[in-house]
Amino acid sequence: MTSRVFKLSALFVATSAILSGHAFADDGKKDIEKIQVLGDKHSNYLAVEAETATKLGISIKETPQSVRVVTRALMDDFSLDDVNQVLETTPGVSVEKIETDRTYYKARGFDIVNFQVDGLGLPQERGSLQGTLDTAIYQRIEVVMGANGMMTGAGNPSATVNFIRKRPTADLRADVSVTAGSWSNKRVEADVSGSFNDMVSSRAVVVKQKRDSYLDRYAVDREVFYGITEFALTDTTTLTTSLTYQSNDADSPLWGALALFDNKGQPTNYDVSTSTAADWAYWNNTSKQAFVELEQYIGDEWSVIARYAHTQNEQDSNLFYVYGTPDAETGLGLTGYASDYQLRDRLNLFDVYARGSFELFGQEHIVAFGASEADMYYFDRSLYDYQTGNGFPPMPNMNEWDGVAPVPTLVDVNPAAPGSDVHSEQSSQYISARFSLTDDLKLLAGLRYTNWETQGLSYGNNKGRKDSDTTPHIGLVYSVNDDINVYISDTDTFAPQTETNANGSQLAPIIGDTQELGVKAELFDSRLMLNVALFNAEQVNIAVADVDNSTPDKTVHKAAPGIQSKGYEIELSGELGYGFSANLGYTKTDIDVSDTFNAGNVEAQLVKDYTPKQVFKLAVKHDVESIEGLSFGMNMRWQDEISRIQNATENFVTKQDAYAIVNFMASYEINDQVNLTFNANNVFDEKYINSLYWAQGFYGAPRNYALTLNWSL
């Protein structure tokens, strides 16, 4: 595995040497594409600019949607080494850990399926992330709340997550950190950046981590390599190339999780460490990405940016699932289920757009327009053991099981439908503009036309479809004064679907819509930002079973009104004064499911129950004035009660009471180059179910610790 990382490293260095040109110029014109983060990496949680909601290069305060940002400083302080930890800290986002190596994310009651890298949308149909995505390569992570049809086209009115990668620096910088923690956690991370000469600047990040787990038998071996090089081919032309490699090899991972109720409807109460994974199970995830970007400035006001991205994900796994309902007295009644699962997922994406400003009627206006083409291929295969008897073994009481299960013979017994072989193409054209109606009133408006075509089969089901849609967005921002803006916006998304109606026609796409009214204020000389927003999000035209026109051999569908979500969000981020930095957020969400949708889709009625109505998140750090270099901090999240109806006939319901997870940190700068950070997580040892997104679930990590030594040049 390590050799593959070094091969990528060699390729990256060779590419840099071949393409060397003039060094990247620190020209004021290029600020339009850069992210500004106030304060150094150890002291500030405030970000003022983002590229997630538009391509216009406007600030967060000028954007008529809620934008959340987790800065590098916050990630470093609380050792947020993977995306799950970052999004658990992000106000308004719910992290649904259904398994150890597969996670879904929700916002405003809807699944998050839109993800970007440096503002480049990566089309996909599945909202889950496989494996655990490491955060060492990112400078910050942005989340724009609500629909975001301008940047992503197809999707849900939930949120868009944008991973902003680290960029090269002109001066030489180096960071090396070593972490040791609970459950034999060992992690080494190195980050080196600078100029090779006057012709090229580069940055490389390498991570190696091995750890066991609080879960029985579970262990992870992770490797990350990231390399990026910037070249200024001329004073106005910049070329950027990058490679990313990440492997996440898991032993005895969860596929599915624990039964949450017994045959009497009573909640099960397993040990926190209980796992349904067999000792021979594994789940290896490998991700590779290559990016090329060419930016050309035309005069002082315009630029053209062309980007190409190639991503490739592969999975190799032998998994063990446990299903059924245990007996209340004996714990028996569960059955094992073994599978060999293979996956290949490939994306080629090309995006080109122009951006600039112009004057009209005495005001300056900004416009961006462009087009993108995406080619996607998805293949997976599931193999089972229906022959030897080892594929579906009866299970003992899970409290007494040691992970020993018969080894199955996993073969293809159904060649006609062993998995998926699906090819999709997406073509988009878009335009967005901000018009200055007056000095204080700005109109943001745009359109995106998306054409989506899919061909192929998935487990015997025809995934063929052809859809197109135009998604508008519009917003008004009014500057009350230099510090306070109020805004209103309406944004759309669409999502193609393959279901057909009684006439055999494919149903029209699902339409998502978000209206938002809010205020953004910069306080205390712009050291603190407040965002208060009221939102109303809705998704309509969702396929449900048409019972009246279906037959035992064929189910047809009809469109239903769907789900409505409304509520409000409050976020405060930046410096509070007296040495305190904070990022806090409160979200109140009310979900309403239409009667038509409820009747045709059993899962729909569960959304309202397993989505917390109230969530509060707080990350705060205090620099101790009396002891130079010493800092303390707390990172906590609280949510109210959630539940899931498991059996409506028997009235079996799983409940998770309201709970809070509290993490502490202490950091001391031994000198200008050496820093020591101690993290204590779940300090009150709260026992809780990670998610009720599925009928099964597993417990969150108990109290644990980590110590990190960081050296910086």
Is the pLDDT score of 179 beyond 70? yes
Residue-level pLDDT at 594: 66
| Measured CA distances, 246 to 5, 123, 136, 623 (Å) | 9, 20, 11, 35
**SS3 state of residue 309:** strand
Residues 91-111: what's their mean pLDDT? 93
DSSP character at residue 599: H
In total, how many domains does the chain have? 1
User: 């990630």: which residue's tokens?
Assistant: 75
| Average confidence (pLDDT) over 102-116 | 91
pLDDT for residue 6 is more than 70: no
Measured at the CA of 693, the angle between CA 692 and CA 695, to 5 degrees, comes to 65
Label each residue of 498-544 as H, E or C: CCECCCCCECCCEEEEEEEEEEEEEECCCCEEEEEEEEEEEEECEEE
Greater model confidence, 39 or 380: 380
**Residue 607 vs residue 22, higher pLDDT:** 607
Per the model's pLDDT, the better-predicted residue between 8 and 515 turns out to be 515
CATH number at residue 100: 2.40.170.20
The per-residue pLDDT for range 250-280, each reduced to its tens digit, is 999 999 999 999 999 999 999 999 999 999 9
Closest to 162 (Cα-Cα) out of 138, 137, 142, 146: 142
More confident residue, 589 or 34: 589
Confidence of residue 477 (pLDDT cuts 50, 70, 90): very high
- For 268, which DSSP code? P
pLDDT above 50: residue 116: yes
Mean pLDDT of the region 474-489? 96
pTM: 0.89
Under DSSP, is residue 435 helix (H, G, I), strand (E, B) or coil? strand
Q: In the predicted model, what is the mean pLDDT of the chain?
A: 87
Q: Is a pLDDT exceeding 80 seen at residue 317?
A: yes
Q: Which domain holds residue 243?
A: 2-712
pLDDT in tens, 333-391: 999 999 999 999 999 999 999 999 999 998 999 999 999 999 999 999 989 988 888 99
State the SS3 of 356-370.
EEEEECCEEEEEEEE
Q: What is the CA radius of gyration of the chain?
A: 26
414: pLDDT confidence band, cut at 50, 70 and 90?
A: low
DSSP state of 215: S
Going by C-alpha positions, the residue among 484, 568, 578 that lies closest to residue 530 is 484
Q: Is the pLDDT of residue 31 over 80?
A: no
Lowest mean pLDDT of 40-44, 214-218, 321-325, 631-635, name the range.
Answer: 40-44
Chain segment 72-83, per-residue pLDDT in tens: 999 999 999 999
- Among 34-48, 174-188, 354-368, 471-485, the minimum mean pLDDT is found in 34-48
d(CA 168, CA 120): 19
Provide the β-strand partners of residue 341: 317, 382
Quick one: pLDDT band at residue 488, thresholds 50, 70, 90? Answer: very high
